[in-house]
Amino acid sequence: MRPLFNGRQRSLCLLAASAVLVSAAPGVTQAQGKMQMADQMTPELQAAKTALAKYADPVAAVRDGYFSTIACIAFPNGATDGPMVYPPGAMGVHLLNTANIGPKLDPAKPQVLLYEPVGDKLVLTGAEWFMPVEVAGGTAPSIFGQTLMGPMDGHEPIMPPTLRHYDLHVWFWKKNPKGMFISTNSAVHCPKAAYTVNLGAHH
């Protein structure tokens, strides 16, 4: 039986289908869609993941200058913040190191570590590279070949809304169904026992 498509036609069909899926994905901006397509573990990302693995122990993070912002941040219904779109999901508990905030981004020194409360433990899920607008000098910074998202207002209550910034979440240890670089992760949960802040549809 003669095949319906030859090899080249089949490849074009698959490429078109991929483009439709990205453009139709709910709660994903065009820029986020590009990040999703680039979602792969490059050597630079793998090196950062290896360097940060020690923070699976949150006590090690505290010893290195990271301090908990306490709240588990969730977006149960998703949210929008100007150009930013957050699909439904959560970010978890942020541990912040203010000493790492500056005009240059270091793959081995993220400004934020992300943890998911599981039972009586904090489980490392990812990291966030963060830069205030004032520090960025008018240009969106980049790392791992990705331009940080933003600018956006600060996320209350863990930071004042006037702290406009750029950021990039990288989910090294908890697979994100929307993509490694998407800000919220539907696989991350804030349990009832945790102090949780649910951010609304219009953050």
pLDDT of residue 39: 64
Alpha-carbon distance of 179 to 165, in angstroms, equals 21
CA 86 to chain centre: 10
pLDDT of residue 88: 96
pLDDT classification of 35: cutoffs 50, 70, 90 = very low
Q: Nearest Cα to 152, choosing from 140, 141, 166, 142?
A: 166
Q: Is 44 helix (H, G, I), strand (E, B) or coil?
A: helix
pLDDT in tens, 122-168: 999 999 999 999 999 989 999 999 999 999 888 777 788 889 999 99
Amino acid at 18: S
pLDDT in tens, 80-92: 877 788 999 999 9
Question: What contacts 171, CB < 8 A, 6 or more positions away?
Answer: 114, 125, 126, 180, 181, 182, 185
Q: Which two tokens stand for residue 192?
A: 């009832």
Q: Which two tokens stand for residue 48?
A: 């950062």
pLDDT classification of 6: cutoffs 50, 70, 90 = very low
Least confident piece of the model among 73-77, 159-163, 199-203: 199-203
pLDDT of residue 79: 87
Q: Quick one: average pLDDT of 14-27?
A: 32
Which H/E stretch holds residue 163?
Answer: none
Q: Nearest Cα to 168, choosing from 144, 202, 137?
A: 144
1 or 75, which is more confident? 75
Q: Which two tokens stand for residue 97?
A: 């190191």
pLDDT of residue 84: 83
Q: Give the predicted TM-score (pTM) of the model.
A: 0.80
Alpha-carbon distance of 138 to 125, in angstroms, equals 30
Residues facing residue 192 across a β-bridge? none
Q: Is 55 helix (H, G, I), strand (E, B) or coil?
A: helix
Would strands 89-96 and 142-143 be described as parallel, antiparallel, or unpaired?
unpaired
Residue 65 has pLDDT above 70, yes or no: yes
Q: Quick one: average pLDDT of 179-203?
A: 88
Highest mean pLDDT among 7-11, 22-26, 29-33, 96-100 belongs to 96-100
Do the beta carbons of residue 149 and residue 129 sit within 8 Å?
Answer: no
Highest mean pLDDT among 12-26, 73-87, 164-178 belongs to 164-178
Residue 183 has pLDDT above 50, yes or no: yes
